[in-house]
A and B are shown apart, each in its own frame.
Chain A
Amino acid sequence: MAFTTEELTGGITKVTLGGRLDIDGAAAVDSQMNMIAGSRKAVLVDLRGVSYLGSMGLRALVAPARALKSRGGKMVLFGPNDFVDKVLKASGINTMIPVHYEMKSALAALE
């Protein structure tokens, strides 16, 4: 599971994930996601490179999102493919963490 970060203007941190967010993928990014959630205020998670999302992968998104929110921060998800989008909707995670399909709206949601 690939994991990179980029600091954007306006204090937004873009986290780019790539590969399968399955049991192994989730384990690979857990600690990094939690570290980001503990130290940043506005996080955009770019899912364009994520080919698969399972329930362990959901956990890797939900836990940091909640941690961020408890600190007054925000997370948004961006660019899921059709399958990942279907998983997000089936689980209801899209009602907890906003999902955006355009970068412009994703960034605007974090300002």
Chain B
Amino acid sequence: MTVNGKNQVQDRLALRSRLSEMAQVPAWIEGLAGQYGIPDHIQLAMNLCLEEAVSNIIRHGYARDTERSIVLNFTMPREGFFVFAVEDEAPRFNPLDGPELGALNECDDPRVGGQGIRFLRRFADRLEYEPMPGGNRLLMGFSASGMAPRNS
């Protein structure tokens, strides 16, 4: 998600790769909401998408190694458009590749965990993946108006 050539991080949350660390995310988002005027319904979407992204990194990317790092960077490149970059040092994996799992139904084994990408696609307005040296960066954009600005 290019941002007029600038990607100045306005806030950052560093987590260890433990599910218990995820309890910090809602309060962090609430703080950002107060500072940057993020509407309530967008906060909920952000919570959901970050919960999915981070829990998948912990469970799959890091295979439950609890001493690794996950960094969440927040920027507001334009009024009403909010971007989170979720960065990890896990093996290269683009969660946006490949087909999304089908919705839950009566006949399936419980695959509730496989709903993560489905949620990202439905609740984030923009998604991009960038490989990084030694890891991954997943960018999630949220528009307060529901209409995300296009990349320049």
Contacts and interface: CB of A to CB of B under 8 A. Distances in A.
Given A91-B104, A92-B103, A95-B104, A59 B112 contact: yes
Query: For chain A, which range describes its interface: under 10, 10 to 19, 20 to 34, or 35 or more residues?
Result: 20 to 34
Q: Is the interface of B mostly helix, strand, loop or mixed?
A: helix
Contacts of A93: 104
A62 B41 contact: no
Interface of A: 20, 22-24, 51-52, 54-56, 58-59, 62-63, 66, 82-83, 86-87, 90-93, 95-96
B51 interface: yes
A10 to B, nearest CB: 25
B48 interface: yes
A91 B48 CA distance: 12
Given A55-B51, A96-B104, A23 B118 contact: no
Contacts of A91: 103-104, 112, 115, 118-119
Contact of B48 (A54, A62, A96): A54
Q: Is the interface of A mostly helix, strand, loop or mixed?
A: helix
| The 7 nearest A-B residue pairs measured at CB | A92-B103, A92-B104, A59-B112, A83-B44, A90-B122, A54-B51, A58-B112
21 contacts: A23-B19, A23-B22, A23-B55, A51-B44, A52-B44, A52-B47, A54-B47, A56-B51, A56-B112, A59-B110, A62-B110, A83-B45, A86-B122, A86-B123, A90-B123, A91-B112, A91-B118, A92-B103, A92-B104, A95-B105, A95-B106
Nearest to B25: A22
A71 to B, nearest CB: 15
Interface in B93-120: 102-106, 110, 112-113, 115-116, 118-119
B80 interface: no
B77 interface: no
B52 interface: yes
